[in-house]
Structure 1
Amino acid sequence: MEIRPLFRLAIPLVALMLGQVSSFSITPEELEGRFKQLPTVPESELSAMSNQVTSFRGLIKHDGLTGHTWVSFPFVENPGSFGFDPKGRLYVAEANRFWLGVPDLRGANELIRDDFQAVTVEDRLKMYDKFASSFPAGWFSRVADRLIRLEDRDGNGVADHRTLFSDRFKEPLDGIGFSVLADEGSVYFTCIPNVWKLTDTDDDGVADEEKAISTGYGVRVSFIGHDLHGITRGPDGRLYFSVGDRGYHLTTADGEVHEGSGRGAIFRCESDGSGLEVFCEGLRNPQELAFDNYGNLFTFDNTGDIGDLARMVYALEGSDSGWDMSHQSAHHYATHLDWGDFRPEKSMWVAERMFDTYNEEQPQWVYPPASHVARGPSGVTYLTGESLPEDLRDLFLLANYRGPSEGCTVLTVKVEPQGAGYHAVAENVLFQGIGASDVELGFDGNIYLCDFGGGWSVNENGSIQVAGSKNAEQQANGAKVAALFSAGFDQRDIAELRQLLSHADRRVRQAAQFALVKKGEPGAATLREVAASAKAALYPRLHAIWGLGQLGRLDPESVTTPLMMLLKDADAEIRANAVRVIGDLRLAKAESELITVLTQDASSRVQSLSAIALSRIGKRGDADISSALFSVARENGEAGAPDIVLRHALLTGLDRITEVSTAAEKSGSESKEERLIALLMLRRHESPEAVRFLNDADPQIVREAVRAIYDTAAADTSAGDAVSALGEKARSLPETVQRRVVANNYRRG
């Protein structure tokens, strides 16, 4: 496999639990010595838990909150992430394999060349065997990442009971384990290379059924912490999770292969792992995921403190955010990849500002972030309900991990619509001085912080911190929600569940939605009625739509008419989510109506989701859909400043529907936006037809054409010859694009 040294050069960003370090090799003796740094107390030697309230670590920056320590070492070790079950029991992922079984290229230079060629997890295992002498005997399987379960049985506000839920995660390919979702009677745990479903059938606090429902993640070593994480339950009832640029190579049950070695991505699937999809890609290290009240998915991607910035990403289905592991090469790996003297000072990631919010000079194929937020984004959750002060509601809560505890913060982030997308309008520090790598809103309405303990190595400083409202009424609101979840929802009658669809806490609304889905036709009738009611409030209608989507995955015909009726609703949010669900279900009968929505709806957000929906419904070569997509692209360009989120939604539609020959013919269009989006589609297909755009009158399109050819397999076709033939014309191009022309000539001798 050839390693192309130009188009994907970047400076590495900070991993969750590793500071910025230079590239070097750690000796086997040094690696062996690190085992002595692991602070652990054998299970048999743990003393009884004190069950005493102790002071809060760090600073609370809100007058309406108070806090304390919920549990600390040795009853929790190296906590990286956590999640509550409906009974209020906390499952904590202990990241003990950090540098103790999970390597990092920056400390294992001998792996670099082989790592860049790894495509499957089996390739990585072969690499470990090849370089076994570089590691102490048994180094890859001596320490286990673990899941523990903690409870506050007497309700005094601190943990008083602990069990070791599972400690099986110690195979050479395992780790680091990060992110926990406990619901529907099971615990989902993401630990490279698997997504695990763990079940405690007798409720003794120990998993007795363990099944990998999806596998093939982490094909490379890359940076430690760029792992499998972020697992959450979407409003559609599916599992959503993410992987960093350690990449993936997945084969579904029907034989479909998804490959992204060296790229981060977001995935979704059913609870048993079926129906797996790559939702979006080109991310670096999207630690965690969170939905807002309207069904929109967000993630926060890391920075490397090298001139780039951390990114809040509105996760748009089918989008490509531009990151590839090879962006790190110029800054850490160049001397190990035999580049000779050809080493640019900046990677393309930085030099072309691929990390930045939108501007016309950056590569247009990259889906830009919504905003720049934080410096070391890690765990994230959404604050919902009425258990917290009013100014802390309907916000994202984000762990901003910066190494030493004193430099770490937890932020609130307020997000508002902007065209077809979103942007952050406020970012405030809520907690300071706690090495929080994850955050959760407990069912009791309190905020819980997963305190790794600070720093970049295993330690004995870990704890779980908790903070809640000082207001008695708000505390009572949290207690009521906890009681609802503890009792469960499936046994409640339809009238009560319908009422709960209007609850202030989105988690209650979602649980009521899921319970109605299980009620058969009576539940379905309620969902249809609520969704169609113009008199009903927005939130219950949205949950009814999502519930119909769940039913539709079992019987699409039963929900087609109710959903299509909503395409003309007066509320844009209703139309947007009806479109989204229709696309998810691939309801072919709705094609003509969706084309009308795409071309005529007044909301750019509704248009963007319509483009994606049509891309799921139509087939390659559908001329009606393709024509509509190009028509909206032209109108988007005529708006003066194109809506970039809409552009990328249209691009996904074209990518999945339009023939390459049709896109190539757009090189003669009078519309710049139409020419540009056609070229971007050709890039996704790595088509040599991009050559048609090399002589475009617009410099932006010429730049993009050079990138589309040199950056892809098209470089090894006649299109690459055309790039070499640019000659003097290349002088007017930006330096980063000129470098592609020069390198292209070098490749041809």
Structure 2
Amino acid sequence: METQTGKESALHEPTTARGETSLFMGVTVDFLLSRLDKTNPKMLFRFLIVGLAACAAFGPGQVQGQNPRVQIPFELHDKSLKLTEWAKQPMLLNPVALSFDYQGRLFVVETARRGTVDIDIRAHKEWVIDDLSNQNIPQLRKMFRSKMAPELSEQNKSWLQDRNQDGSHDWRDLMAVKERIHLLQDTDDDGKADVAKVFAEGFNQEINGVMAGVLPYRGDVFATIYPDVWKLNDTDHDGYADKQEVFIHGFGVHAAFDGHDLHGLTIGPDGKLYFSVGDNGFSVRTREGNLLHHPNTGGVLRCNWDGSSLEVFATGLRNVQELAFDEFGNLFSVDNDGDIREERERFVYITEGSDSGWRLNWQFKKGGWPSQTQTPDYCPWIDEKLWLPHWKGQAVYITPPMSEFSVGPGGFKYNPGTALNDRYKGTFFLCEFPVQKVTAFKTEPQGAYFKMVDEHIFLFGMMASAINFGPDGSLYVANWDGKWQPNELGSIWVVDDPAIRRSEKRKQVAELLRSNYGGHPDVFLVDLLAHEDQRIRLEAQFELARRDKFAELLKVAANPNAKRLARVHALWGLGQLETDSQRNKRLARRLPFTDSDFEIRAQAAKLAGTKKVKSCAAKLADLLHDENARVQFHAAMALGQAGDSSTVPSSQLDCVARTQ
């Protein structure tokens, strides 16, 4: 749970006050103990103190409350690493998201709207039916202006502050609080930020939520706040975004729970922009005129960098904060629980076209809400056990989570390959804000799915709201510094291994990230497809795709002696290219469907589906019998894109059905 959702998993709807609080505290402490190394008595004691404080702060029905900070020293699990402060207030306040460009400039999203003017339906239960009826942004705006009309000023003044001081407590007061993006730099390379500028400020229409995501890329800065994805640009290079445009509009059609925001801006392995949306839903008209209408669920979307080809990648998610791809293009996140008794957050594998099962209206079928909605106390999410990891008899239309995991998930990132040290290669990092820790873990294949391994507390004691890796290979952590609501505090800390922080390899990585890929020769870019750093491999792939180097990419992909990751990126690069009948014929002949490496077979199948190469349908059908479940999965998915009933024998379809 990122900063803006500090109350997220904690704000359980009350049924009975004291009994519900006691139950929640017991369940939470049991869960915390299950995640802790009990051989460390000192850590155990400190963790329990934080856990109990979190339980107290999470008391039932608290939407706008503050909790006192539990001040404890920060502690790193790995003693070879060092934690140092990089920046602090007043250089930044209330950080919720952060992201570096390849030049080493850090963009930090700051919130003031959270807990002040971002409407939460839990504080206005009598609005819930009207709110659920909203299907688009105009309807939401109409509801806000009706419920907070100037003529209702006297009625609303007990909760709606006259922030614009016009003497009326109305919807216009929601426009008096602005969001901000700060730009921070360490210009003298001494390990401390010495420059801080306001890069962009505003985003304060009455229907704006909390700004919750930022991503600088290719000279633009993308930012997310309901109802929009923004595209910002500093055209005169003075550190301020003088060009600001709405990139995509139509997210957050319900007030619902605040903190279920628009976030997760991520560069995908297919060269597209990915982002996540909470279950406030969306109704978006694409540039091509298509309506993407999912008003009652959250999900993941993707598009080209000019906003074209916007599409829904996955649905049925409640509120995944940030997205992370591993080196093989698998997309993971941690989804917030439904604030319902005994349910927990979930570690999720997000596949194209998947439905994880959540619907917003199910939020209001438990925990005292049926008395407001006049509906039966029956919630499919809980009563049909959709939220649990796979079990025999579970509904087959959903993609279940891999495991129950986390207390309040937030910032989430994957080591690009050259960051920190060898101990943390292949590692995910997750902020668990309420219990003041950052968790680290890895994944291993388990059939066509994955399991979590090597889970441990990476950093303890910090109310970390966001994390990201810099081009220097360090891990940067945003510290909210103590309270749920904006508190005019905030800092950025850096974690790294001092033995290698200024190594030659790190310098070379930073230099390559800063370089102009358009100026590199083809042969050099091909070599970079095998680089140790994921960011460099992707940039080389994207540039080769931009140059339309079909032959060069296919040569690497089909070469059994090439490095595994080079071949994977070559296959992804081929997926970015325009195709024609001649290219499809070459793909059908040369794609490595029978390679000795199961990952290459899986990626080849995935590419055939992405490019809809129908002449590969028979080969894909054969892969349904592959010895590796991951290959079977991608072959089945590809057949749905490239095959048809005339090319796939019924016996093969029966095989897919049996696998399901």
Structure 2 equivalent of residue 256 of structure 1? 290
> What amino acid does structure 1 have at the position aligned with 2:101?
D
Distance 1:165 1:534, change over 3 A: same
Match status 1:630 vs 2:656: no
State the Cα deviation string for residues 13-61 of structure 1 (Å, max 9, x = none). 997222415479xxxxxxxxx99x9xxxxxxxxxxxxxxxxxx972222
Alignment equivalent of 2:143, drawn from 122, 127, 150: 127
Distance 1:626 1:253, change over 3 A: farther
Q: 1:474, CA displacement in angstroms?
A: 6.9
Q: Is the partner of 2:570 in helix, strand or coil? A: helix
State the Cα deviation string for residues 244-287 of structure 1 (Å, max 9, x = none). 11111122233322222221111111111211121111111110
Structure 1 equivalent of residue 611 of structure 2? 585
Match status 1:542 vs 2:568: yes
> What amino acid does structure 1 have at the position aligned with 2:568?
L
Match status 1:17 vs 2:6: yes
Pairwise mapping of residues 602-641 of structure 1 onto structure 2 (< 5 A)? 602-618=627-643, 622=645, 624-625=647-648, 627=650, 630-636=653-659
Q: Is the partner of 1:424 in helix, strand or coil? A: strand
Q: 1:625, CA displacement in angstroms?
A: 4.3
Q: Contact 2:210/2:259 (CA < 8 Å) preserved in 1?
A: yes
> What amino acid does structure 2 have at the position aligned with 1:370?
M
Q: Is the partner of 1:181 in helix, strand or coil? A: strand
Q: Contact 2:2/2:411 (CA < 8 Å) preserved in 1?
A: no
Pairwise mapping of residues 33-48 of structure 1 onto structure 2 (< 5 A)? none
Report the Cα distance in structure 1 between the residues aligned to 2:5 and 2:281, rounded to whole angstroms.
16
Report the Cα distance in structure 1 between the residues aligned to 2:14 and 2:201, rounded to whole angstroms.
32
Pairwise mapping of residues 721-732 of structure 1 onto structure 2 (< 5 A)? none
> What amino acid does structure 2 have at the position aligned with 1:549?
G
Distance 1:14 1:204, change over 3 A: closer
Structure 2 equivalent of residue 396 of structure 1? 428
Pairwise mapping of residues 186-205 of structure 1 onto structure 2 (< 5 A)? 186-205=220-239
Match status 1:460 vs 2:488: yes
Report the Cα distance in structure 1 between the residues aligned to 2:177 and 2:4, rounded to whole angstroms.
21
State the Cα deviation string for residues 632-672 of structure 1 (Å, max 9, x = none). 23442xxxxxxxxxx3xxxxxxxxxxxxxxxxxxxxxxxxx
Q: Contact 1:453/1:460 (CA < 8 Å) preserved in 2?
A: no
Q: 1:549, CA displacement in angstroms?
A: 1.0
Structure 1 equivalent of residue 358 of structure 2? 323
Q: Contact 2:3/2:466 (CA < 8 Å) preserved in 1?
A: no
Identity %: 34
Q: Contact 1:532/1:562 (CA < 8 Å) preserved in 2?
A: no
Report the Cα distance in structure 1 between the residues aligned to 2:3 and 2:399, rounded to whole angstroms.
21
Q: Contact 1:17/1:224 (CA < 8 Å) preserved in 2?
A: no
State the Cα deviation string for residues 554-597 of structure 1 (Å, max 9, x = none). 66753652365222222221121122222222233333332333
Q: Is the partner of 1:76 in helix, strand or coil? A: coil
Structure 2 equivalent of residue 428 of structure 1? 456
The range that moved more, 481-490 or 159-168, is 481-490
Report the Cα distance in structure 1 between the residues aligned to 2:631 and 2:466, rounded to whole angstroms.
33
Alignment equivalent of 1:366, drawn from 378, 385, 398: 398
Pairwise mapping of residues 344-359 of structure 1 onto structure 2 (< 5 A)? 347-359=379-391
State the Cα deviation string for residues 359-398 of structure 1 (Å, max 9, x = none). 1244333321012221111111111323422221111111
> What amino acid does structure 1 have at the position aligned with 2:220?
S
Q: Contact 2:541/2:569 (CA < 8 Å) preserved in 1?
A: yes
Q: Is the partner of 1:157 in helix, strand or coil? A: coil
Pairwise mapping of residues 485-504 of structure 1 onto structure 2 (< 5 A)? 485-504=513-532
State the Cα deviation string for residues 63-84 of structure 1 (Å, max 9, x = none). 1110211111121111100110
Q: Contact 1:14/1:305 (CA < 8 Å) preserved in 2?
A: no
State the Cα deviation string for residues 131-168 of structure 1 (Å, max 9, x = none). 01344332221111111111111111111112211113
> What amino acid does structure 2 have at the position aligned with 1:325?
L
Q: 1:548, CA displacement in angstroms?
A: 1.1
Structure 1 equivalent of residue 345 of structure 2? 310
Report the Cα distance in structure 2 between the residues aligned to 1:256 and 1:387, rounded to whole angstroms.
41
Report the Cα distance in structure 2 between the residues aligned to 1:350 and 1:92, rounded to whole angstroms.
37
Report the Cα distance in structure 2 between the residues aligned to 1:260 and 1:426, rounded to whole angstroms.
37
Q: 1:306, CA displacement in angstroms?
A: 2.6
- Structure with higher helix content: 1
Using the size of structure 1 for normalisation, the TM-score is 0.74
Match status 1:106 vs 2:138: no
Structure 2 equivalent of residue 243 of structure 1? 277
Structure 1 equivalent of residue 587 of structure 2? 562
Distance 1:87 1:14, change over 3 A: closer
Match status 1:227 vs 2:240: no
Q: 1:428, CA displacement in angstroms?
A: 0.8
Structure 2 equivalent of residue 720 of structure 1? none
Report the Cα distance in structure 2 between the residues aligned to 1:240 and 1:88, rounded to whole angstroms.
22
Using the size of structure 2 for normalisation, the TM-score is 0.84
The range that moved more, 588-597 or 218-227, is 588-597
Distance 1:564 1:582, change over 3 A: farther
Distance 1:573 1:474, change over 3 A: farther
Pairwise mapping of residues 158-307 of structure 1 onto structure 2 (< 5 A)? 158-303=192-337, 304=339, 306-307=341-342
Q: Contact 1:445/1:475 (CA < 8 Å) preserved in 2?
A: no
> What amino acid does structure 1 have at the position aligned with 2:342?
G
Pairwise mapping of residues 379-528 of structure 1 onto structure 2 (< 5 A)? 379-402=411-434, 407-472=435-500, 475-520=503-548, 523-528=549-554
Q: Is the partner of 1:173 in helix, strand or coil? A: coil
Q: Contact 1:64/1:389 (CA < 8 Å) preserved in 2?
A: no
Structure 2 equivalent of residue 725 of structure 1? none
Q: Contact 2:288/2:309 (CA < 8 Å) preserved in 1?
A: no
Report the Cα distance in structure 2 between the residues aligned to 1:180 and 1:519, rounded to whole angstroms.
28
Larger radius of gyration: 1
Report the Cα distance in structure 1 between the residues aligned to 2:253 and 2:208, rounded to whole angstroms.
11
State the Cα deviation string for residues 580-623 of structure 1 (Å, max 9, x = none). 2222222333333323333x33222122122222222356xx45
Q: Is the partner of 1:130 in helix, strand or coil? A: helix
**Unmatched tracts of structure 1, length 5 or more:** 1-11, 25-33, 38-55, 637-646, 648-749
Q: Is the partner of 1:569 in helix, strand or coil? A: coil
Q: Contact 1:307/1:350 (CA < 8 Å) preserved in 2?
A: no
> What amino acid does structure 2 have at the position aligned with 1:630?
L
Report the Cα distance in structure 2 between the residues aligned to 1:166 and 1:315, rounded to whole angstroms.
32
Q: 1:235, CA displacement in angstroms?
A: 0.9
Report the Cα distance in structure 1 between the residues aligned to 2:333 and 2:649, rounded to whole angstroms.
30
Q: Contact 1:230/1:287 (CA < 8 Å) preserved in 2?
A: yes
**Unmatched tracts of structure 2, length 5 or more:** 16-62, 67-71, 161-168
Q: Is the partner of 2:175 in helix, strand or coil? A: coil
Alignment equivalent of 1:58, drawn from 49, 74, 85: 74
Distance 1:192 1:441, change over 3 A: same
Q: What RMSD in Å do the two structures reach over aligned CA positions?
A: 2.5
Q: How many residues matched?
A: 584
State the Cα deviation string for residues 477-534 of structure 1 (Å, max 9, x = none). 32321122123322122222222222111111111111222334xx433222211111
Which structure has more relative contact order (CA 8 Å, sep 6+)? It is 2
Q: Contact 1:149/1:162 (CA < 8 Å) preserved in 2?
A: yes
Q: Is the partner of 1:140 in helix, strand or coil? A: helix
Q: 1:294, CA displacement in angstroms?
A: 0.7
Distance 1:616 1:244, change over 3 A: same
Q: 1:447, CA displacement in angstroms?
A: 0.5
Q: Is the partner of 2:295 in helix, strand or coil? A: coil
Report the Cα distance in structure 2 between the residues aligned to 1:368 and 1:14, rounded to whole angstroms.
26
Report the Cα distance in structure 2 between the residues aligned to 1:13 and 1:189, rounded to whole angstroms.
15
Report the Cα distance in structure 2 between the residues aligned to 1:209 and 1:166, rounded to whole angstroms.
10
